[in-house]
Structures are given as structure tokens and as C-alpha cells.
Structure 1
Amino acid sequence: MEYIELTGKTVTLLPLSEEHFEGFYEASKPIEIWDWLVTKIYSREDAVAYMNQGLRAKEEEEQYPFVVIENGTGKIIGSTSYRNIQFDNESLEIGSTWYHPSKWRTAVNTECKYLLLQHAFETWKLGRIEFRTDEQNTRSRAAILRLGAVEEGKLRREKRLTDGTMRNTMVYSILNDEWPSVKQRLHDFLSQHEK
């Protein structure tokens, strides 16, 4: 898959690579990041496994993981991915997203999603972008709806968590004909952050 670098005013998304490991691991240390994510990083070994899994999936063209760099500091502040990439079906999922808690409720997530959606719809010409999250993760659900995504429904007992429990997964999507209004919505949010 081609090299993708996505740059905004606040963040730059670079393809995940082994050279990013130390910054990636440092950003992943706050334990509250992992409350609702299926794969968790609680140790250096977990971070190595997480990164290796992402790089393997990228080689197989199933996933395209990024590190999120804060433009002002040059520091890695999180990670996000294109997942379940299906060019034949003109679809993919944006997921495996996490940020250092100091960046929660800032422009970071909005700009990351703007950049990812813009590339998927305008460069790759895809027709459907999906988001999935734990039914109990109210913060993530609210953030996805805030983007302008449509809630499609619930997949019951869809995924086993590391503690052995099964999660219900909420599914959302944005279609290509909805992108212009979503793009304007995100542009407006980002403009408000600049004031």
C-alpha cells in the first residue's frame, strides 16, 4: 500500500513504524486510555505486541495504522488506523483510535477524523466509512455521533474482551453522499477551536 501522510493544523498522521516505538509507548502509558479498547497496552511488552500486530496487518493490506503527531511539539500523542480495508466494496473502518488523555476534548480527534475521512472519500473514492465502539463507551459513542455518523445498530456479543467478557458493539457509518455535509460540519468545529 502506498505511503500516506496526512497533515492538518494541529496534527500529522504518519504511517506507524518501528522507529516510532518509544514515543508510541510513552503516549500509551495512562491506564485510562484502555478502559474500553479491546487490545490494551499495560506494559512495554503489550506495546511491542500491539505495534507488531498493526505492522503485520499493514503488510497484509488489511489495516493501515498511523501514529498521531502533535504539530506544535513533534510528540506522538496517540494512534489510529484504517481497518478492514475493502477496496472492492469501497469501504473501510476507522478504528483502533486512542489518544493521550491530555488531548481528550481538544481539536485532535476532530482533525484526525477529518483527515482520514477526506483521504478515504476524496483520494480513494470510497463509498462507506464505518466506526465501531463498545456499547458502554458513552464518550466514544458521543464523539462518533458528533462527527455526523449515522448509528446503524448493535452487534450483540460481537467481541471477547481481555477479561473474558463479551462486548456488544455499536456500528456507525458515513456514506460518500453524506461526506460534503459532514466535511462542512467538521470544518466548522475546527474553525471554532481556532478562535
Structure 2
Amino acid sequence: MDSLMAFNERVPTRSTGTRRTAALALGPVLAMAAGLVTGPATPAAAGAAGCAVRPPHPAGEPPARQRPAGDDDGRSGHRCPAGPAGPAGPSGAVDTAFAATTTTPEAKYVGVAQGDGGALVRDPTSVAPNPHWHDLSLLPGYPGGAVGISLSPTPLNGTARLAVTVRSVTGQVAQTHCTLAPNVVWPGNCTAFTDLTPPL
């Protein structure tokens, strides 16, 4: 109050009434400046009406309910060591092709890479005692360990032929051509395998 009265004495006024009016008008302002009266709370200081003001999280840290599962470092759970390797999966392949000879209608030939290293071709024109299935692994140049096979008719100068291409487990590719005729004797009707392995 002493400060207020001192201020009132310094206000140049012509009458006591005017001096009192100035003191009343400036009193609340000076009181607020002196900390005697507190102004209305603002949303920034007190938050929305009825809501508690929560401190912000540290910079760069997501809210607790959005943190990933795991420990405080954000790492995933404990990782177990890898188990033993499982057994090798099945290997081998099969392919078919239709081909006709000059004396027989079109027939389906079947090629099988057995997965044990052998390669067989089934000739539907073979008759007993000639078996239907014929082993090509005895031909010169056979790569061994065939796990893939492909059959393709390749007639040449009117002669029916069948190209047999195999791929080994080591990636070697080789091909033979077999002449087709009714009840032909396999594998004597086939050429030696030619290496067609692509460059690595």
C-alpha cells in the first residue's frame, strides 16, 4: 500500500477526486505487476478445463503406449540359436515331349532325372523284350548327378530326333540327340553328350 500511495502522490492531478480515480484505475495493474493478484489461468499453463497437464516425453522418445515390444533398448526378444540342418529335400525332375516317326503317329516321350544321378527316357514304341525305360547315363560325356532334364523334338532331314538335355547337381549342362524309330535300341540311337555348360 505504501508503494501505491507513493505513486498516487506523484500523479499530477488538479483535484483530490481526480487523483483517487487514477489510483483506482491503476491499482489492479500495479497489484498484478507486484505479484499481489494472479490473473486468469491460460490453457498453456493449466491445460484444458478439467484435464491434467502432463509433462512432455523426452525428445526423440515415443509415448510409452507406442513403444515397441521388447526391452528398454528397443531390441526384440531373446534369439535362440539356429537348430540343426534338416534333411536334404527331394531332387530330380521330369519332362515330356510329343514326337512322331515316319512310320508311327505322334507319341509322348517322358524324361526323368531320378535324383540319384541317372537319367531315363521312356519310349512308347518300345516292345518286349525291349523295355520302355532307357538309361542314358552310360553315354560318353554324361555329366553325372543329373537333377534336371529337358526333352525337345529336333527332326533333321526328315529323320525324327529327340534332344535330351540334362543339368547336373554341380551346374553342368549337357545334351544328346537320339534318333527315333519304332522299337529302336536305346541308348545306341543317341549321340555322345555335348557340354553346354554356361560360363560362370
The question of a shared fold, defined as TM-score above 0.5 by the shorter chain, is answered with no
Normalized against structure 2, the TM-score is what? 0.23
**Larger % of helix: which?**
1
Which structure is larger by alpha-carbon Rg, 1 or 2?
2
**Larger % of strand: which?**
1
Normalized against structure 1, the TM-score is what? 0.23
